[in-house]
Amino acid sequence: MKKGISKEKYNVAILGATGVVGREMIDILEKRQFPIGELRLFASEKSVGEEISFCGKSIKVRLASEKEFQGIDFIMGDTPTEISKKFIPMAVKQGAVAIDCSSAYRMDPKVPLVIPEVNASAMANHEGIIAGPNCSAIPIAVAAKPIDARYGIKRMVIATYQSASGAGKGGMDELADQTRSLFSQQEIIQKVFPHRLAFNVIPQIDSFLPNGMTKEEFKIMEELRKILDSPRLGLAVTAVRVPVFCGHSAAVAIETKEPIDPEEVKKLLQESPGIILKDNLQTKEYPLPAEVAGTDAVYVGRVRRDDSVPNGILLWVVADNLRKGASLNAVQIAEVLIQQHRLD
């Protein structure tokens, strides 16, 4: 697929097809009328045999293996890193382009880490694998990119409000079950999150590093630097899980090199690809995760001056972590690759 393909239809494989991101991918491929020849769906043993409908047909979920990847043009997925590392090289060796939403390859210097609106050009010399960033890094990068291009970002202080679905279907179920149990005075069962999430917030996502950061915080930092091509960008991140089913939010304080003005920033964001500015204080309009879930854009609101630094601005950024934060971004990457080939 790397060189000179310009097909009418593409064979697509989904790894982790029964997971929350996998299911969104299938839905998005259908809704966006992605030019699919054959769609092959893979998942772990316990889901094998399940049937998922796609464009009016029912597709059986199978177990991934080397020979299953023959003839595949694109392989996409958001699986545990060990699954990505096991299967993606098999598919790439057979000519597929992999678009991997896991963290397996994101920081590999040979792998472009891509959000099409932000750095599509980074894909120019890909070697078969393209990574999709962390679901909190994506919306922040989309919102920060035009600001960085115009004003030069020096530092960002970020506090996230990340939904249960960031931990997959198990996370969403755990939030629902815990909530029901609390109301009916049943025992609270807690497996996915390190503490009860229902009616609580948890300042830990993923495990801790020796420096006291969580891996999630570290990923957001290093991925933002890579996506924005700004290796020395100052970043301070606190990643927090909140009892929301879907939609990741972030309070972002941005310090720029050049003088910055909130009204100018609003205009700039409005004109930027992939962003919907929702910022009307009179009508109490600003992005809310419960409203953003199920939509495609990155929503920005609460744009205001931060007087505590010479050039400062505060933003509130929300996106559907399963869609723009993972599945949609992956499909958009594939669309750009096809587009680039067509234009070649």
Residue of 234, 257, 267, 271 that binds a copy of itself (CB under 8 A): 234
CB of residue 237 to a copy of itself, shortest distance in Å: 9
- Closer to a copy of itself by CB, 79 or 214: give it: 214
Length of the chain counted residue by residue: 344
- Closer to a copy of itself by CB, 74 or 193: give it: 193
- Closer to a copy of itself by CB, 83 or 175: give it: 175
Cβ atoms 277, 266 nearer than 8 A: yes
Q: Counting contacts by CB under 8 A, is residue 179 touching a copy of itself? A: yes
Q: Counting contacts by CB under 8 A, is residue 42 touching a copy of itself? A: no
Binding-residue pattern over the window 187 to 206 for a copy of itself, x denoting contact by CB under 8 A: -------xxx--xxxxxx--
The torsion angle over the Cα atoms of residues 262, 266, 271 and 273, rounded to 10 degrees, is 100
- Closer to a copy of itself by CB, 150 or 305: give it: 305
Question: What single-letter DSSP state applies at residue 277?
Answer: E
Binding-residue pattern over the window 144 to 173 for a copy of itself, x denoting contact by CB under 8 A: -----------x-x-x-x------------
Binding-residue pattern over the window 260 to 299 for a copy of itself, x denoting contact by CB under 8 A: --x------------------x--x-xxxxxx--------
Residue type, 183: F
Give the relative orientation of helices 20-31 and 168-183 as an angle to the nearest 10 degrees. Answer: 120
Residue of 303, 328, 333, 334 that binds a copy of itself (CB under 8 A): 303
Helices (DSSP H) in 198-299: which residue ranges? Answer: 215-227, 262-270, 289-292
Q: Counting contacts by CB under 8 A, is residue 220 touching a copy of itself? A: no
Cβ atoms 23, 52 nearer than 8 A: yes
Which neighbouring-strand residues pair with 52? 59
Give the integer Cα–Cα distance in Å for 240 and 198: 14
**Half-sphere exposure in the Cβ direction for 304 (13 Å, CA):** 10
Q: Counting contacts by CB under 8 A, is residue 49 touching a copy of itself? A: no
Which neighbouring-strand residues pair with 249? 161, 318
Cβ atoms 138, 329 nearer than 8 A: yes
Residue of 36, 48, 251, 336 that binds a copy of itself (CB under 8 A): 251
Point out the residues that are catalytic.
135, 248
CB of residue 304 to a copy of itself, shortest distance in Å: 3
Give the DSSP letter string of 110-157: TS-B--HHHHGGGGTT--SEEEPPPTTHHHHHHHHHHHHHHH-EEEEE
Number of residues that bind a copy of itself (CB under 8 A): 55
Residue of 58, 125, 211, 343 that binds a copy of itself (CB under 8 A): 211
- Closer to a copy of itself by CB, 258 or 285: give it: 285
Residue whose C-alpha is closest to residue 276's, from 296, 293, 298, 291: 298
What residues line the site for a copy of itself (CB under 8 A)? 155, 157, 159, 161, 175-176, 179-180, 183, 194-196, 199-204, 208, 211-213, 234-236, 238, 240, 242-245, 249, 251, 253, 262, 281, 284, 286-291, 301-309, 312, 314, 316
